């Protein structure tokens, strides 16, 4: 799962998203660029609803990574 934060997301909003992911027993890799921060979520994300993450403050978009068959 990839979580793309809004350009206007505050540090507090980013921390809320990271805390949510930790509470779901997931880890993440943060990539912060000049305009945008992206979180690459590591772990079993199958039980996390994409819509739930997308509704968190500061989140722009959430993408699921397809599983290989």
56 lies in some domain: yes
Per-residue pLDDT of 7-44, as tens digits, reads: 999 999 999 999 999 999 999 999 999 999 999 999 99
68 lies in some domain: no
Report the CATH number at residue 27: 3.30.70.1140
Give residue 45's pLDDT: 94
How far are the Cα atoms of 20, 33, 56 from residue 7, in angstroms, in the given order? 20, 10, 14
- Sheet (strand 27-32) strand order: 27-32, 37-42, 2-5, 59-63
40 lies in some domain: yes
69 lies in some domain: no
Give residue 66's pLDDT: 86
Instruction: Look up the domain containing 31 and give its range.
Output: 2-63
Give residue 68's pLDDT: 77
More confident residue, 68 or 30: 30
Farthest-apart Cα atoms in the chain, separation? 38
For the chain, what is the domain count? 1
């Amino acid at each position: 799962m990839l979580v793309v934060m809004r350009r206007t997301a505050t540090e507090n909003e980013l921390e809320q998203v990271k805390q949510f992911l930790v509470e779901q027993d997931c880890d993440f890799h943060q990539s912060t660029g000049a305009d945008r921060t992206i979180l690459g979520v590591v772990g079993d994300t199958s039980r996390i609803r994409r819509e739930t993450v997308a509704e968190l403050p500061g989140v722009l978009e959430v993408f699921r990574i397809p599983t290989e068959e």
